[in-house]
Amino acid sequence: MTETPSLMFQETAEASEAVGRLFANEAQAFAELGRVIAERSPALVSMSARGSSDHAASFFKYLFEIHTGIPVASIGPSVASVYDASLKLDRALHITISQSGGSPDIVAAQASAKKGGAVTLAVVNVADSPLANAADIVLPIHAGPERSVAATKSFIASAAALAGVAQVASGSAALKGALDRLPEALAAACDVNWEPALPLLADAGSVYTAGRGPGFAIALEAALKAKETAQLHAEAFSLAELMHGPMQLVDKGFPILAFVPEDEALASSEQSLEKLRGFGAQIASFSSRDVGERTIKTPTTGHGHIDPLVSLVGYYRLIERVARERGLNPDTPDKLNKVTQTI
């Protein structure tokens, strides 16, 4: 009997089309953002988000700082919503990422940022939402309805939208080419063979996820998905940080999932993975090149800063299967809802 695909499985496959719609429909919004950033010349970009959306913010932070040199700071939404602080963000660009655009805390943070002098950008899946209606600029991600509690296509589309912001701010032709190729790479990633990593996770009690730069941001997202869909304890670390205190827990058989794109950190990442193997770690790596045993070969956009997003397609498929192997429904974690309202 054929197993019915989960919503998470199906919606992961829809990421390619979502990203294609995003870039086809929002050229004007990206052009406006490029103009605003050029005219305003912000000394700082501030961000507010929670959950998966906060990991998209981390992905953007690395891209934006690498390609523009402008620092990006995360502002806890409770600073405005609970502690009633007045944000001082003159000349800043403030970005809020939210699927629903309705949680009171992020709406309050955006309002405080706007009052403090920032131009506000809402990156949302629901274009007619309190967050979007109050923003100076709205960037809909065009992911469409997402029914699984686990955010897959909406995360990838949010991160792609933010990558587009980094591209227009920097004017990078290399980033532009990679984003043009991203939908095709995402579609091809649906056929990635992630099964070599399955034995590492099926009976694991804990796992590390790791990467450098944009890959670390994706490791953060991977750890969250392991917890919420497969009830698997997971911690995300930069591979650089993993060489410090967290390495003490690594011994024979300890599972590690690494996101290793072909970028400037590749050589140091490979050295770190080799050291971890020496302690007995079992490592599976998502990469467009061979980085050792259990490499999950992943399609490339031609740019290592964007490729971690492509790796997520194979990872989402992997962790969806892990959840099923554990007798869980990845679409409906028993303690979670699709939309979380926080203050």
Tokens 């993975």 label which residue? 273
Residue 334: predicted pLDDT? 60
Strand, helix or coil for residue 25: helix
Residue 244: predicted pLDDT? 74
Inter-residue contact 325 to 234 (CB < 8 Å): no
Which one, of 171, 194, 144, lies nearest residue 322 by Cα?
Answer: 194
CA–CA separation, 21 and 1 (whole Å): 35
Strand, helix or coil for residue 256: strand
CA–CA separation, 258 and 242 (whole Å): 11
Long-range own/partner contacts, residues 276-279 (CB < 8 A, 24 or more apart): 276/242, 276/247, 276/250, 279/247, 279/250, 279/251, 279/252, 279/254
CA–CA separation, 317 and 296 (whole Å): 12
Residue 338: predicted pLDDT? 43
Three-state SS annotation for 98-123:
ECCCCCHHHHHHHHHHHHCCCEEEEE
Which tokens hold the place of 253?
């058989």
CA angle 195, 337, 51 (to 5 degrees): 70
Cβ burial of 222 (10 Å; 0-12, 13-18, 19+) is buried
Strands (E), the chain: 45-48, 72-74, 93-98, 119-124, 137-140, 206-211, 233-238, 255-259, 282-287, 295-297
Question: Pairing state of beta strands 137-140 and 93-98?
Answer: unpaired
CB neighbours of residue 66 within 10 Å: 17
CA–CA separation, 78 and 226 (whole Å): 26
Residue 341: predicted pLDDT? 56
Strand, helix or coil for residue 130: helix
Residue 336: predicted pLDDT? 47
Residue 100: predicted pLDDT? 86
Residue 339: predicted pLDDT? 54
CB neighbours of residue 302 within 10 Å: 15
CA–CA separation, 272 and 266 (whole Å): 10
Three-state SS annotation for 173-191:
HHHHHHHHHHHHHHHHHCC
Strand, helix or coil for residue 34: helix
| Tens-digit pLDDT profile for residues 24-76 | 999 999 999 999 999 999 999 999 999 899 999 999 999 999 999 999 999 99
Which one, of 224, 218, 280, lies nearest residue 247 by Cα?
Answer: 280
Q: What is the pLDDT along the chain (343 residues), one digit of tens a residue?
A: 357 889 999 999 999 999 999 999 999 999 999 999 999 999 999 999 998 999 999 999 999 999 999 999 999 999 998 999 999 999 899 999 998 888 899 999 999 999 999 999 999 999 999 999 999 999 999 999 888 878 999 999 999 999 999 999 999 999 999 999 999 999 999 999 999 999 999 889 999 999 999 999 999 999 999 999 999 999 999 998 877 767 666 778 889 999 999 999 999 999 999 999 988 899 999 999 999 889 999 999 999 999 999 999 999 999 999 999 999 988 886 654 545 555 5
CA–CA separation, 322 and 227 (whole Å): 11
Cβ burial of 335 (10 Å; 0-12, 13-18, 19+) is exposed
Which tokens hold the place of 169?
């701010």
Residue 252: predicted pLDDT? 81
Strand, helix or coil for residue 155: helix
